[in-house]
Amino acid sequence: MVKAAGPGRPPTSVDIARVAGTSQATVSRALNGGRVAAATRERILAISRELGYTPNAAARSMVTSRTGLVGVVVSDLTNPFYPEFLEEIAACLGARRQHMLLQNAAGGGDREAVELLLQQRVDGIVFTAAVEGSEAVADLVARRFPVVLANRVVDAGCDSVEGDHPAGAAAVVDHLAGLGHRHIAVLAGLPGASTSARRLAGIRDRLTSLALPAPDVVETGFDYDRAVRAATELLTGPQPPTAIVGLNDQVAFAALNAAAALGVAVPSRLSVAGFDDVRQASWPTLGLTTVRQPQVAMAARSVALLNERIDDPDLAPRHEVLPAELIVRSTTGPAAS
């Protein structure tokens, strides 16, 4: 195969060396801060700029065995929880000259997502809201591959960061109970979704310790459309609840919208609360009462933990819990008689 040398192929460090009259090794040193005579370095940098040289990350990673890429697996990009979270992740990574490789594991099948990330030889992976007992995650952990679970509980002895679900759940229940609600419904995720499970457990615990009736629970898989249908059924049923708690803000919004579509007044006839405190929750037009999760802090800690583990795979697994806080807005009020 004749070397095309056409303008199509991007210039390499060898091309620079040829022009500069040095060896390729010197070019590499000049570009990466090795010992090079000042004059030589200047010349090489100038030529590099002129040629429009861009280092080939693939070639570099082959010799350094580090890519500087970090995989991030999300379950549903349309969940408004993610934008801020991802922006913060990207920002934290940028500070260490790393970059984010985002994968959307639609429908809980994270197998393929992980496969791609491994092919790209990412240095580590942040999972958000992966399904409990995910085989893919377990495999990675078994291989001692750097993994951090964000916004979900420990499962296979790897690092994790989550909000204080019991405290948050207790706060919502206290708030609603204080308003006189006794018939509470919950829109939950799938049974295997750990975040959902922990929040639900927290709600149940608090209700029983307050000697209140157990909640109606509908598992919607955190899917917006299914949550709307579920809320509609609840509200048009024989014994509609006086309060609905969405285990994340997305399904709480679904409840709000179902109520609006049915003409059920909020908060006078129905109270709605969520979890996460997504940006839209604070909009005056929505004003959702919700349990704030420190998304930014969660992203920052996830990246920090991941990098510590990348640097030292032998660390003992760590589990961080960030404080949760109830934000009362305008979707909750005294229970209707």
Does 48 participate in binding DNA (rule CB under 7 A)? no
- For its own copies, give the closer residue by CB, 102 or 322: 102
Residues of this chain, 128-167, that bind its own copies according to CB under 8 A:
139, 143-144
User: Exactly one of 25, 58, 214, 315 binds its own copies (CB under 8 A); which one?
Assistant: 58
User: Exactly one of 19, 51, 60, 139 binds DNA (CB under 7 A); which one?
Assistant: 60
Does 192 participate in binding its own copies (rule CB under 8 A)? no
User: Exactly one of 12, 24, 40, 120 binds its own copies (CB under 8 A); which one?
Assistant: 120
Does 70 participate in binding its own copies (rule CB under 8 A)? no
Does 127 participate in binding its own copies (rule CB under 8 A)? no
Does 283 participate in binding its own copies (rule CB under 8 A)? yes
- For DNA, give the closer residue by CB, 40 or 257: 40
User: Exactly one of 25, 106, 260, 315 binds DNA (CB under 7 A); which one?
Assistant: 25
- Report the 3 state secondary structure along the chain: CCCCCCCCCCCCHHHHHHHHCCCHHHHHHHHHCCCCCHHHHHHHHHHHHHHCCCCCHHHHHHHHCCCCEEEEEECCCCCCCHHHHHHHHHHHHHHCCCEEEEEECHHHCHHHHHHHHHHCCCCEEEEECCECCCHHHHHHHHCCCCEEEECCCCCCCCEEEEECHHHHHHHHHHHHHHCCCCCEEEEECCCCEHHHHHHHHHHHHHHHHCCCCCCEEEECCCCHHHHHHHHHHHHHCCCCCCEEEECCHHHHHHHHHHHHHHCCCCCCCCEEEEEECCHHHHCCCCCCEEEECCHHHHHHHHHHHHHHHHHCCCCCCCEEEECCEEECCCCCCCCCC
Q: Least distance (Å) from its own copies to the CB of residue 162? A: 22
Q: Least distance (Å) from DNA to the CB of residue 69? A: 15
User: Exactly one of 18, 29, 204, 319 binds DNA (CB under 7 A); which one?
Assistant: 29
**Interface with DNA (CB under 7 A):** 1, 3, 9-10, 12-14, 21-26, 28-29, 31-32, 34-40, 53, 55-56, 59-60, 62-65
**Interface with its own copies (CB under 8 A):** 7-10, 52, 54-59, 61-62, 65, 67, 77-78, 80, 82-84, 86-87, 90, 99-102, 104, 106, 115-116, 118-121, 139, 143-144, 253, 256-257, 260-261, 279-280, 283-286, 313
